[in-house]
Structure 1
Amino acid sequence: MLTRLRGSVNVLYREMVKFGAVGALAFVVDIGVFNLLRVGGHGGLDDKPLTAKTISVFVATVVAWLGNRYWTFRHRRRASARREFVLFVVMNVGGLVISLACLGFSHYVLQLTSALADNIAGNVVGLGLGTLFRFWAYKQFVFTEELAEDPDPALHVDAEPAPAPAEPTAPAEPPAPARAVTPPGSAGSSPARVRSTPAGAARSL
């Protein structure tokens, strides 16, 4: 039981580390593509920041999906890549809604309207809660199918290791039949006859 628990914790730790690495890469791609389109003079989007942001978010989403499908959750990916990608996008939208909800609550309900407050609410609290939601949602709804052949056996802890087969043992030999011991000189003689003498009939000479 303890070994199984340790294995599950190890799997969760590895998935979280890989998930964080993929998320960091997707974030860099998002920022890079946005700035490349917005201020780099490529694609004619210098005056269209919303279009540039939409494109950068889409590219970052594809990068995040590929990284999670073929690395983070590669032992749980679906057979249908199209269905998996659609579910992935839906869960990302859910994470975005959480971030926007945190920002809106802070800005309009709590009346914390400074730039610092908006960044804390949207990019710290909202982003953190949204990331936790996406990690949970990916495991519950997106990457849910165990592969028949696990490409990473270290991440598979569902089954207990099978005990090693016992070595076959040779069957015990049957004991040898007991041999009758014949006194010397009596070989070939017929079995002795036993005569019974009535009690008290024996006389001493």
Structure 2
Amino acid sequence: MSVVESALAIIPQPYRDIAIKHRELVKFALVGGTTWVIDTAVFLLLKATVLEEKPLTAKIMAVLVATIASYVLNREWSFRTRGGRERHHEAALFFLVSGIGVAVYTAPLAISRYVFHLEVPQVSPLTEGIADFVSGQIIGVLAGMAFRWWAFRRFVFPDEDVRRQVPTG
């Protein structure tokens, strides 16, 4: 049983039928969850060590690492039957869309830090950490994923069923 089929099996009806109808979105969400873990781990590691004073730089680097994983997983799994472009054009568009996505992802963190001043010494270190996590890892990620879902389907992988494997025999 595939990962998607296993995930679908635990969803109660009638939601399972909706998930099956939107299988591509389920796969995209699973890839998003995987890359969220990568993004979060890299962000927190960098922010706690070498980039302690530069949270936006840490966030941008974390998103870039997660984006590389995202390209491979989305191309080969989430959108494996979609395409319509030569691979180098597809990759360039993927990274362009993802670059715009970096701005979408980091905007809530920038607003939190530099508009609302949710940073030490204006607030406690705990408040700063919570604000960074909520703005960067929850709000930013949700906004970025919504943008990327739309843009990937619209511009990067525009045509359906162009890479579908036809069984021989």
Query: TM-score interval w.r.t. the shorter chain?
Result: 0.5 to 0.7
1:136-157 C-alpha deviation (Å, 9 max, x unpaired) = 11011100123456338xxxxx
CA distance in 2, matches of 1:74, 1:28: 22
CA distance in 2, matches of 1:112, 1:56: 21
CA contact (8 A) 1:65 1:88 kept: yes
Could you state the TM-score of these two structures normalised by the residue count of structure 2?
0.61
- In structure 2, the gaps of 5 or more residues are 1-17, 120-126
Tell me which structure has the larger Cα radius of gyration: 1
Q: Does 1:19 align with 2:33?
A: no
What residue is the counterpart of 2:110 in the other structure? 104
CA distance in 1, matches of 2:80, 2:147: 19
CA distance in 2, matches of 1:77, 1:71: 12
What residue is the counterpart of 2:159 in the other structure? 145
How far off is 1:85 after superposition?
0.9
CA distance in 2, matches of 1:111, 1:20: 32
Pick the structure with more helix per residue: 2
Note the aligned Cα RMSD (angstroms): 3.5
CA contact (8 A) 1:74 1:151 kept: no
Could you state the TM-score of these two structures normalised by the residue count of structure 1?
0.52
Q: Percent of counterpart pairs with the same letter?
A: 34
1:91-131 C-alpha deviation (Å, 9 max, x unpaired) = 11111101222122233223333321222112111111111
What residue is the counterpart of 2:147 in the other structure? 133
The alpha-carbon distance between structure 1 residues 131 and 105, as it changes in their structure 2 partners (threshold 3 A), is same
Of 80, 83, 87, which residue of structure 2 is paired with 1:74?
80
The alpha-carbon distance between structure 1 residues 100 and 141, as it changes in their structure 2 partners (threshold 3 A), is same
The alpha-carbon distance between structure 1 residues 60 and 111, as it changes in their structure 2 partners (threshold 3 A), is closer
How far off is 1:57 after superposition?
5.1
1:30-87 C-alpha deviation (Å, 9 max, x unpaired) = 567x59x98xxxxxxx968999988865553232112111211122123411111111
CA distance in 2, matches of 1:125, 1:48: 21
What residue is the counterpart of 1:94 in the other structure? 100
Aligned AA for 1:118?
Answer: D
CA distance in 1, matches of 2:162, 2:97: 26
Matched pairs, number: 135
